[in-house]
Chains A and B, each alone.
Chain A
Amino acid sequence: MRSLALALIVLSVAGAGCGDSTPTEPTPQGASAFTETFTGTLKASGTAFYSFGAIGGNVAITFASLTNTMTGAVVGATPRIGLGIPAGTGCGLSTSLTSAAALSAQIVTTLAPGIYCVSITDTGGVTADSDFAIRITQGSLALLSTTSPETFNSNLSVNGSSTRTFTVAGGTGTGLATVRLDSVSPSTVIGFGIGLWRFDTGTCSLTQVINSSGGAQFSLPIDQGTYCVRVFDTGTLTNPVAFAANLIHP
């Protein structure tokens, strides 16, 4: 639908420009807020960039996940995240910073309509190929928050995992999300993580992980969007276990 809307807008604007000696660049107008996710693999000392069209207005860039490609373990590196305009064979940065993965935007700015890029560059903390996820959000999303607090109780099988998604409404600014692994029965260490939910792949790109048999919790700033809590066997289970977790978010 959005493609069609864009097409109609462009046809209208460009068509109106016929015969005009100084036509201006077609600009999508009235486009809705949306997100897109830049994913890929960052090599040691490597860099990658992604181009996107800005509709004009607020843009939030969130470096949300960095995990070892082979093991899936969260990588605690602080690559350089940048925003700029595609230039040459890269992204000509106008702003950049180093940051660990988080669920609140590291870069928030206002952009005029046009083509921009985000980039990620290893600053030395990446020692092996690592998968990353960077969310680009334009505008205020018309999201409704899911129930909070919310319990997440289920069973975990050997080599298995269990994921619960939750949503934080648009227009709420940055709030605090707290997720807690209350118990594992029988008491066993399992993996417990929080991350960005990927609609394109139906997977959870993890931001932080703790191995715990209960009592562990995360409290971290969080923006509008859809997220996930993932509970998984770290390779130690010999029998299924039951777990109880709790989610509190804006």
Chain B
Amino acid sequence: MWHERPAARRLVASGVLAVCVALVSSACDQSTPTNPQTPSNPAMTVESFVGTLPKGGTVFYSFTVPVEGTVSFTLLSLTIGGVPSDLAISIGLGVPSGTTCRTSSTGPVTVGPTPQQANPVVPSVYCVNVVDLGTLTADANFALNINRPR
């Protein structure tokens, strides 16, 4: 059988896939709490995502994780009109899908020197989605570090 489907159905499929992976991953963690599945010390690298987050907007950045491990995000700076801001924006790990980054986990973060979010991952292509939560008063420049296995 074949399906000539709208992009929306593909996005739904991707979403289902992501949710299933998250659920099963969670279940695995609960069943083996003393036996973490992540390799102990995969070699890591840092990618920098520097850009402008439009007021009310969303931007994303894609990256490849070649081996299992943990991806963490650190929002290093957020400025509006050149002035540092302590406003929270949303950052989430996702999978590139269509013209967007379909996130499986998101959370509000503020600028800080240490990772604000960490996610276990298996080898694949991922993206980080950066979203204005509705609090920006103007376009904001940001710098985000992506620490990932290499």
Query: Contacts of A4 on B, CB cut-off 8 Å?
Result: 16
In the complex the two chains form, is B124's CB within 8 Å of A25's CB? yes
Answer whether residue A150 sits at the interface, using C-beta atoms and an 8 A cutoff: no
In the complex the two chains form, is A19's CB within 8 Å of B32's CB? yes
Most buried by A among B47, B59, B124: B124
Answer whether residue B114 sits at the interface, using C-beta atoms and an 8 A cutoff: no
In the complex the two chains form, is B17's CB within 8 Å of A86's CB? no
Query: Contacts of A60 on B, CB cut-off 8 Å?
Result: none
Query: How far is A24 from B32 in the complex, measured between Cα atoms in Å?
Result: 18
Most buried by B among A17, A23, A36, A37: A36
In the complex the two chains form, is A37's CB within 8 Å of B7's CB? yes
Q: How large is the interface on A (under 10, 10 to 19, 20 to 34, 35 or more residues)?
A: 35 or more
Answer whether residue B41 sits at the interface, using C-beta atoms and an 8 A cutoff: no
Which positions 30-65 of chain A face chain B at CB distance < 8 Å?
32-38, 40, 48-53
Main secondary structure of the interface of A (DSSP, over half): mixed
Name which of A5-13, A72-80, A93-101, A210-218 contacts chain B. Answer: A5-13
Pick the contact of A36: B5, B20, B127 (CB < 8 A). B5
What 0/1 pattern do residues 159 to 174 of A give for CB contact below 8 A with B? 0000000000010000
Query: Which B residues are closer than 8 A to A by beta carbons?
Result: 1-10, 12-14, 16-17, 20-21, 23-25, 27-28, 31-32, 35, 37, 39, 47, 49, 51, 59-64, 68, 95-99, 122-125, 127
Query: Which A residues are closer than 8 A to B by beta carbons?
Result: 2-4, 6-7, 10-11, 14-15, 17-26, 28, 32-38, 40, 48-53, 85-89, 114-115, 117, 139, 141-143, 170, 199-200, 225-226
